[in-house]
C-alpha cells in the first residue's frame, strides 16, 4: 500500500495462543483502518506456524485496530483488538494473544396456556425457531466490523437446546423469531452468577436478560440461559388516517407501551411495527395485557419522533390466543 507516493511504514510483532500448544491450521493478522471512529477497511497478512512473527508493510499514518485470528480443528480463536497509531515511524514488538471466541448456551421452553380459546392451536417448532445475538452498537468502534459478523444465529435442537458461537468480546441481547401466531416471547432469564451490566441479583433470583446486556469476553462459556415462549398471544390490526387534505406522514411506525404498572419495565412488551403505505398496520405475537398505542413518524435526519403523533385516550387490551382488533383506527393531529 502506497500513500501519496511514499512507501509507508511497517507494523510488526508476534502472535501466541492462550491455550496449550496445538497444531494451528490457520492464522491471520488483520489491520483495520479507523474511519469516522469505526474500523472499516482491512489489510491482512499471515504468520507462519513456525515463524517468529509477522510484518505488515506500506502502512500510512493513521489509527488502526490490529487483530489476530486462528483456527484450531473445529474452533475459532481471536485476539483482543489492539489499537495502534502510526505517526511517521515503524511500530514493532506488538504481542497478540488469541483466545477462543465466547459463546452463549441455553434452551427454549414452551409454556402452554389452559385458556379454552388456546386449545388445539399450533405449537412452535424448534426447527422453525431462530435465536440471534444482537451486539451493543456502542462498542462498534472497539472492534473491527468483521468480528461482529462471526457470531451468527442458532436454531434449537429437538430438545430446545441451542448455542450461539463465535461471539467477540462485548455486550449482547437476544432476539427470538418463530412462526406460531398464538405464542409470544414471555421471558429471557439467566442464572444470577452470569455477568450483565447491572448488579448481580440475589443468589436465588434469576436475571432478566431481555432488559440487561449479557457481557461476553473471549473464552467465556455463558450457560443456563432460558428463553420462554408462552401460549396466549394476541394480535392488533388497524389503520392510521391523516386529517382530510393532509398528506400521510412518511416512515410512520406504531408503538405499543404497557399500561399496567406491574409491566412498566418489561421490555418485551414495548413493541413497534412499520405502517404500510396505505396506512394499515399489524402487530402480532403480543403478550396479553393492556397497552397504550402511539403512532409517530421518524424525523428525516435521525430516529427520534417528530412532533406529529397520535394517542388513544384509553389503553387497548390484548386478549389471549389471537383475538384481533381489526377496526382500530388512529387519527393524526
138-151 confidence digits (pLDDT tens): 877 777 878 888 88
Give the 3-state secondary structure of the chain.
Answer: CCECCECCEEEEEEEEECCCCCCCCEEEEEEEEEECCEEEEEEEECCCCCCCCEEEEEECCEEEEEEEEEEECCEEEEECCEEEEECCCCEEEEEEEEEECEEEEEEEEEECCCCHHHCCCCCCCHHHCEEEEEECHHHHHHCCHHHHCCCCCECCCCCCEEEEEEECCEEEEEEEECCCCCEEEEEEEECCCCCECCCCCCCCCCEECCCCCEEECCCCEEEEEEEEEEECCEEEEEEEECCCCCCCCCCEEEEEEECCHHHCCCHHHCEEEECCCCCEEEEEEECCEEEEEEEEEECCCCCCECCCCEECCCCEEECCCCCEEEEEEEECC
Q: Which residues belong to CATH 2.60.40.10 in the chain?
A: 102-231, 235-331
> What does the block give as the cell for 95?
504481542
* 154 Cα distance to chain centroid: 13
The yes-or-no verdict on residue 75 having pLDDT over 90 is: no
Please write the tens of the pLDDT for every residue from 251-297.
788 888 888 899 999 999 999 888 888 888 888 999 988 888 888 87
Q: What is the pLDDT of residue 60?
A: 87
The yes-or-no verdict on residue 45 having pLDDT over 70 is: no
Query: Which one has a higher pLDDT value, 325 or 174?
Result: 174
Q: What is the pLDDT of residue 102?
A: 93
Half-sphere exposure in the Cβ direction for 296 (13 Å, CA)? 15
Most confident of 25-29, 132-136, 140-144, 147-151: 132-136
Check whether domain 9-99 has CATH 2.60.40, yes or no: yes
> What does the block give as the cell for 17?
495462543
Lowest mean pLDDT segment, chosen from 4-8, 96-100, 307-311: 307-311
Contact 237, 282 (CB under 8 A): yes
The dihedral through the CA atoms of 140, 143, 148, 149 has a sign that is positive
Matching residue, cell 495462543 = 17
Please write the tens of the pLDDT for every residue from 158-202.
999 999 999 999 899 999 999 888 999 999 999 887 666 555 555
What's the mean per-residue pLDDT of the chain? 79
The yes-or-no verdict on residue 74 having pLDDT over 80 is: no
Give the CA angle between residues 149, 151, 156 to the nearest 5°.
140
Q: What is the pLDDT of residue 202?
A: 57
**Phi, psi values for residue 223, rounded to 5°:** -140, 170
The yes-or-no verdict on residue 51 having pLDDT over 70 is: no
Lowest mean pLDDT segment, chosen from 25-29, 205-209, 324-328: 324-328
The yes-or-no verdict on residue 314 having pLDDT over 50 is: no
Give the contacts of 43 (CB within 8 A, at least 6 positions apart): 1, 30, 31, 32, 33, 56, 59
The yes-or-no verdict on residue 326 having pLDDT over 70 is: no
Q: What is the pLDDT of residue 246?
A: 73
Name the CATH topology of 235-331: Immunoglobulin-like (2.60.40)
CATH architecture of 102-231: Sandwich (2.60)
Pairwise CA distance, residues 322 & 305, whole Å: 29
The yes-or-no verdict on residue 244 having pLDDT over 60 is: yes
Q: What is the pLDDT of residue 117?
A: 81
In this prediction the pTM is 0.79
Q: What is the pLDDT of residue 159?
A: 96
Please write the tens of the pLDDT for every residue from 115-128.
888 888 889 999 99
The yes-or-no verdict on residue 76 having pLDDT over 80 is: yes
The yes-or-no verdict on residue 319 having pLDDT over 90 is: no
Give the contacts of 179 (CB within 8 A, at least 6 positions apart): 124, 125, 128
**How many CB atoms are closer than 10 A to CB 69?**
21
Amino acid at each position: 500500500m502506497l500513500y501519496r507516493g511514499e512507501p509507508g511504514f511497517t507494523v510488526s510483532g508476534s502472535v501466541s495462543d492462550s491455550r496449550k500448544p496445538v497444531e494451528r491450521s490457520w492464522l491471520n493478522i488483520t489491520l483495520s483502518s479507523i474511519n469516522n471512529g469505526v474500523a472499516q477497511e482491512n489489510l491482512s497478512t499471515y504468520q507462519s506456524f513456525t515463524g517468529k512473527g509477522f510484518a505488515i508493510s506500506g502502512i500510512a499514518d493513521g489509527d488502526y485496530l490490529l487483530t489476530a485470528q486462528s483456527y484450531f480443528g473445529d474452533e475459532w480463536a481471536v485476539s483482543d483488538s489492539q489499537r495502534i497509531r502510526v505517526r511517521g515511524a515503524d511500530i514493532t514488538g506488538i504481542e497478540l494473544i488469541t483466545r477462543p471466541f465466547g459463546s452463549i448456551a441455553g434452551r427454549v421452553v414452551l409454556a402452554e396456556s389452559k385458556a379454552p380459546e388456546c386449545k388445539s392451536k399450533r405449537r412452535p417448532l424448534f426447527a422453525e425457531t431462530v435465536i440471534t445475538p444482537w451486539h451493543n452498537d456502542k462498542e462498534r468502534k472497539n472492534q473491527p466490523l468483521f468480528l461482529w459478523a462471526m457470531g451468527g444465529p442458532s436454531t434449537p435442537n429437538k430438545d430446545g437446546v441451542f448455542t450461539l458461537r463465535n461471539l467477540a468480546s462485548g455486550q449482547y441481547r437476544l432476539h427470538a423469531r418463530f412462526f406460531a401466531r398464538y405464542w409470544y416471547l414471555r421471558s429471557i432469564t439467566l442464572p444470577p452468577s452470569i455477568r450483565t451490566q447491572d448488579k448481580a441479583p440475589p443468589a436465588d433470583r434469576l436475571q432478566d436478560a431481555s432488559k440487561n446486556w449479557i457481557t461476553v469476553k473471549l473464552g467465556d462459556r455463558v450457560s443456563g440461559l432460558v428463553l420462554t415462549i408462552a401460549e396466549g398471544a394476541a394480535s392488533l390490526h388497524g389503520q392510521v388516517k391523516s386529517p382530510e387534505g393532509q398528506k400521510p406522514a412518511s416512515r410512520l411506525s406504531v408503538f405499543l407501551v404497557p399500561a399496567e404498572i406491574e409491566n412498566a419495565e418489561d421490555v418485551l412488551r414495548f413493541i413497534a411495527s412499520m405502517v404500510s403505505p396505505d396506512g394499515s398496520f399489524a402487530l402480532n405475537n403480543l403478550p396479553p395485557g393492556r397497552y397504550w398505542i402511539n403512532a409517530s413518524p421518524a424525523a428525516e435526519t435521525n430516529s427520534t419522533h417528530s412532533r406529529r403523533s397520535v394517542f388513544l385516550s384509553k389503553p387497548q387490551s390484548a386478549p389471549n390466543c389471537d383475538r384481533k382488533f381489526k377496526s382500530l383506527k388512529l387519527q393524526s393531529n
